[in-house]
């Protein structure tokens, strides 16, 4: 019964993963015969490749911004929407809506919002007399990454709100009643009840968001502009470009191996930190 799944998985996941490791030790344009060069791709990436370092930095900043802001927003909205009323259920459903769209659609819609001439964002800023704040968001090397991070947060906050609401609804209500008896303010209740009790949910949300940002490709692919000088490129975009624009297949494979190592390392670190916290 296990054989169809195992066969496809072995053929299109395990076998390619091993080929990827082998490719990463070659210089190869995808057409002619690969040349074995040992670990030179890996050392070159770390010592000589400014673009790789830049994109690595981009990816870390992107992940950090999205994890911090998306998680805080989701937790905040979830505490506002934890009770089940008609209004809160409606708002949760509305907030969740962007999640069902494709990232290409989301990217293209935000291209319009960010458009320097006709875009809704600049038009609104000018309407309120804030002309100085109107920018060419996606073409500015300093702003592009943050602009795309905002889109990512808009895209997935609603999904995380739902996960948090499910977690917060598990917190026994007598904990809040006891805190109210002690005269705790809303903020104190949040600090002493909600936050510690929601830590396991936070672990899930943070882990999922991290993985999501390390696999991100579509938004940048549909939004990035040449004028931003790779300012918003993320790791998967770099791997894609190295292989299918630059025809450096071995090099792209090595970049993707670094991506794996990074994802595993970050996941492992997060598990450790959150495990220590929940055990305190």
Partner 1 sequence: MLYKVIRSSLLTAFALAVIVPTSIVILGTFKTDLEIYTKPLALPKSFNLDNFRTLFADGQMIVPFRNSVIVSVFSVFFTLLFASMVSFAIARSITITGKVMLGLFTLGLAIPGQINIVPIFTLFVKLNLNNSLFGLILVNIALTLPISVFIITAFFKDLPKEMFESAGLDGANHWRIYRSIALPLARPAVGATGIFLFVITWNDLLYPLMLINEASKKTLPLVLIDFRGEFATSYSMLFTAIIVASIPMIVMYVVAQKSFIAGLTAGAVKG
Q: Least distance (Å) from partner 1 to the CB of residue 142?
A: 23
Which residue number, 129 or 187, has a Cβ lying nearer to partner 1?
A: 187
Nearest CA among 226, 225, 222, 258 for reference residue 239: 258
Q: Least distance (Å) from partner 1 to the CB of residue 279?
A: 21
Cβ contact 138:147 at 8 Å = yes
Which residue number, 19 or 43, has a Cβ lying nearer to partner 1?
A: 19
Which residue number, 85 or 280, has a Cβ lying nearer to partner 1?
A: 85
Q: Least distance (Å) from partner 1 to the CB of residue 157?
A: 7
Q: Least distance (Å) from partner 1 to the CB of residue 231?
A: 19
Positive/negative CA dihedral, 161, 166, 167, 172: positive
Q: Least distance (Å) from partner 1 to the CB of residue 1?
A: 5
Q: Least distance (Å) from partner 1 to the CB of residue 35?
A: 15
Which uninterrupted H or E stretch holds 76? Answer: helix 50-80
Q: Apex CA 95: angle with CA 91 and CA 96, to 5°?
A: 115
Q: How far is 214 from 237, CA to CA, in rounded Å?
A: 10
Which residue number, 152 or 222, has a Cβ lying nearer to partner 1?
A: 222
The dihedrals phi and psi of 245, each to the nearest 5 degrees, come to -110, -45
Which residue number, 142 or 171, has a Cβ lying nearer to partner 1?
A: 171
Q: Which two structure tokens, joined as six digits, stand for 52?
A: 């790789």
Q: How far is 271 from 280, CA to CA, in rounded Å?
A: 14
Which residue number, 142 or 226, has a Cβ lying nearer to partner 1?
A: 226
Q: Apex CA 69: angle with CA 64 and CA 72, to 5°?
A: 120
Nearest CA among 102, 66, 38 for reference residue 254: 38
């Amino acid at each position: 019964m296990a054989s169809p799944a195992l066969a496809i998985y072995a053929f299109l996941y395990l076998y390619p993963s091993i080929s990827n490791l082998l490719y990463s030790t070659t210089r190869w344009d995808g057409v002619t015969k690969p040349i074995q060069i040992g670990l030179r791709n890996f050392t070159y990436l770390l010592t000589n490749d400014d673009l790789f370092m830049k994109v690595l930095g981009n990816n870390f900043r992107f992940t950090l911004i999205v994890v911090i802001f998306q998680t805080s927003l989701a937790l905040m909205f979830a505490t506002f929407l934890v009770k089940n009323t008609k209004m809160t259920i409606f708002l949760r459903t509305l907030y969740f809506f962007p999640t069902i769209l494709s990232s290409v659609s989301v990217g293209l819609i935000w291209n319009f919002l960010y458009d320097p001439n006709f875009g809704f964002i600049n038009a609104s800023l000018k309407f309120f007399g804030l002309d100085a704040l109107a920018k060419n968001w996606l073409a500015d090397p300093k702003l592009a990454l943050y602009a795309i991070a905002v889109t990512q947060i808009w895209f997935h906050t609603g999904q995380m709100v739902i996960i948090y609401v499910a977690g917060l609804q598990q917190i026994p209500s007598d904990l809040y009643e006891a805190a109210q008896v002690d005269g705790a303010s809303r903020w104190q209740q949040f600090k002493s009840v909600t936050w510690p009790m929601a830590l396991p949910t936070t672990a899930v949300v943070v882990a999922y968001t991290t993985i999501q940002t390390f696999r991100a490709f579509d938004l940048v692919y549909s939004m990035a502009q040449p004028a931003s000088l790779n300012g918003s490129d993320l790791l998967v975009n770099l791997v894609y470009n190295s292989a299918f624009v630059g025809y450096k297949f071995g090099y792209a494979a090595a970049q993707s191996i670094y991506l794996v190592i990074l994802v595993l390392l970050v996941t492992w670190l997060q598990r450790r930190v959150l495990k220590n916290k929940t055990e305190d």
